[in-house]
Amino acid sequence: QADDLQHDFDATISDDRRIEPRDWMPDAYRKTMIRQIAQHAHSEIIGMQPEGNWITRAPSLRRKAVLLAKVQDEAGHGMYLYSAAETLGADRADMTGKLITGRQKYSSIFNYPTLTYADVGVIGWLVDGAAICNQVPLCRASYGPYARAMVRICKEESFHQRQGYELLLTMMRGSDKQRAMVQEATNRFWWPSLMMFGPPDHRSPNTEQSMQWGIKRHTNDELRQRFVDMTVPQAAKLGVTLPDPDLRWNEERGRHDFGEIDWSEFDAVLKGDGPCNTQRVQHRRAAHEDGEWVRDAATAYAAKTAARRAE
Ligand code: 3HC
C-alpha cells in the first residue's frame, strides 16, 4: 500500500502534474513545502515595513496612493501564502510564533533600511524584479495551492516592478540631486538584491531535492544570472551604474559576468546581524501582541455566532 502511494507521488512529479492537499506525500516533501511557503509568506509581511516607512512622506498623493496599494498587496500575498501553508497542516499562529522567535526566516533583503524616497523606486525595480525572476518559475511548482497562489502574486508583482521603474525614470529626468539619490539607492540595494536568490548552488542544501520534487525549476545561481542579464539593460536605460566593476557582457557565454558576492554579509544577515533585523522582528512581534484583543474578539464572536446557529 505504502509503495503504491510513493509510486503515485513519484509518477505525479515525473509527469509534471500537481500534488494537491489531499494527496499522499512524503513527510519530507510536506516539511520542505511548509518551510518554503511559510518563509515566503513571512517575507511578504515583513516586506511591508521598509516600504511602509515612506507612505506618510511620499512626495505626492498619487505616489502615496500607489505605495499604499503596493503595501496592501504585500499583506494580501502574505495571507495567500499562509493559507497555502495551512493546506499542508501548518498552523498560522504557530508560523507567526516561529517568525517572531527567529525559528523561521524571511527574505534577507528586508533587513536593509529605506533611507531615501528613491529606495521606494529601487525596491520596486530591483527587489520586486528579483522576486518576479524567482516567482515566475514557482507558478509551475509541483504543489498545487502554492503554484496557483504564485500566478496571482506574479501579476501584482509586475505592477510593483513597473511602478518602481516609472518612479525612477521620473526622478532621473529631475534634478542632479534626484539623480544622485537614485544612484545612491541603487548602490545600496544592488548586491542585497542578488543575495535574495539564496546561497550559491554549491552551498544550497535544499536545491537538489527541491529540483527533484519539481518545487524549484531552476537553481539559485541560474535565476540570479537571469536577473542580472535582465537588469543590466534596464540600468542603462535609466542612466544608473550598477555598483560592480566586474560586470561585463561575455559574448561566449551569452551572459553577463559579474563580481563575487560577499557571502559573509549574507551569512551575517541570516544570522540576525543585518542593519534592521532586530527592528523588523520587534515591529512584527509588537503588531502581533497589540492585535491579541482583535483575535480574541473575533474568536469570541465566532463562538457566539456558532452557538446561536446551534440553538
Ligand atoms: N533570505 C533569507 N533566507 C534565505 C535566503 C534569503 N535571501 N536565501 C536562502 N535562504 C535560506 C533558506 O531558507 C535556507 O534556510 P532554511 O533551510 O532554514 O529554510 C538556507 O538559506 C539555504 O538556502 P537554500 O537555497 O538551500 O534554500 P531554498 O532551496 O529554500 O532556496 C529561496 C531559497 C530561493 C529563497 C527559496 O526558498 C524560494 O524560492 N522561496 C520562495 C520565494 C521567496 O521566499 N521570496 C522572498 C523574496 S521577497 C518577496 O517575494 C516579497 C516581494 O513582494 C518582494
How far does residue 197's CA lie from ligand 1's centre (Å)? 7
Please answer whether residues 242 and 231 qualify as being in contact, where contact means their C-beta atoms are separated by less than 8 angstroms. Answer: yes
Question: Residue 147 has which C-alpha cell?
Answer: 503554484
Tens-digit pLDDT profile for residues 270-307 = 999 999 999 999 999 999 999 999 999 999 999 999 99
Residue-wise pLDDT for 17-49, tens only, equals 999 999 999 999 999 999 999 999 999 999 999
> Mean pLDDT across the stretch 252-280?
97
Which residue's CA is minimally distant from atom 33 of ligand 1? Answer: 198
Indicate which residue's Cα is closest to atom 43 of ligand 1. Answer: 40
pLDDT in tens, 155-167: 999 999 999 999 9
The three cell numbers of residue 118 are: 528613491
- Cα of 211 vs centre of ligand 1, distance in Å, is 14
Q: Cα separation of 259 and 159, whole Å?
A: 30
Helix, strand, coil fractions of the chain, as percent rounded to 5: 70, 5, 25
Ligand 1 centroid to Cα of residue 222, in Å, is 14
Q: Whose CA is nearest to atom 39 of ligand 1?
A: 134
Residues with CB under 6 A from ligand 1: 35-36, 39-40, 43-44, 47, 74, 105, 107-108, 127-128, 131, 134, 195-199, 204-207, 210, 220, 270
Q: What pTM does this model have?
A: 0.96
pLDDT at 2: 81
